[in-house]
Structures are given as structure tokens and as C-alpha cells.
Amino acid sequence: MVDVAPEDHDQELAFWQGALGQSMQQFERFPEYHGVPLEKQQMGFLVQRLGEGPSRVHLDIHTTDVEAEVARLEKLGAKRLREVNFWCLMEDPAGMPFCVIADKDLTEENSQRWE
């Protein structure tokens, strides 16, 4: 996911649509997001318009148990910042943001497990 400051959003969205050769659709439920599934990949690409803060890239970790994964990551040094809808915004030990997201479609075949 690319997080983009409001003043850079339109230009950044146009850039990534051109770079990927695909039009990104705005999410009706979360209009600050535009996204597209990547062909032949089990992932998508998102551009998020931020309300504040600098532009940056952040990762999303998908899991079937958000609380358990958040607790595991906190033990490794991550900080829980806030709960948002069905995900948790966190910060790694270096201060980089990432999210832990509930994903009911995960299976053993399409997942990477970290113990």
C-alpha cells in the first residue's frame, strides 16, 4: 500500500495507474482508498489518501485472528496505535506503520505462517 498526503494524491494515483497499466477503483465503503488486484498474484495494490502525515509505503499483514497476531507482534516490539474497522494500525520498532487485517479467506495453501 502507498499512503499519500492529500496534496499529492491525484498525481500519485495517476502515476501508479500508469505504472501498473490498470485503472484503480475507488472503494465505496472506504473512499480514501483506490485499488486493483494484481494479475496472476494473490495480492492487490492500494493507494490511500491520508488525512495527515508524510507519504510512505506500509505493509498489511492478513490473518484469521487479529488479536492473536497483534499480541504476537507486540511481543516482538511493535506498538498498537488504534483499531480501525476490521484492522489494527500498528507501528514497528523503527516507527514504520503497518496494519493487521482480518481476512476470512486465508487457507493453509495461500498463507505464510510465522510462529
Residues 22 and 43 in one domain: yes
How many domains in the chain? 2
CATH number at residue 31: 3.10.180.10
Q: Which grid cell is 49?
A: 489518501
Strands of the 79-84 sheet, one edge to the other: 59-63, 97-102, 87-91, 79-84
pLDDT 10s digits, 15-55: 888 877 889 999 999 999 999 887 766 778 888 888 888 88
Q: Are strands 59-63 and 97-102 parallel, antiparallel or unpaired?
A: parallel
pTM over 0.85: no
CB atoms within 10 A of CB 87: 19
Residues 75 and 24 in one domain: no
Residues 63 and 115 in one domain: yes
Tell me the pLDDT band of 100, cut-offs 50, 70 and 90.
Answer: very high
Amino acid 27: pLDDT: 93
Residues 64 and 101 in one domain: yes
Residues 45 and 2 in one domain: yes
CB atoms within 10 A of CB 48: 19
Tell me the pLDDT band of 99, cut-offs 50, 70 and 90.
Answer: very high
Amino acid 109: pLDDT: 65
Domain interval for residue 101: 58-115
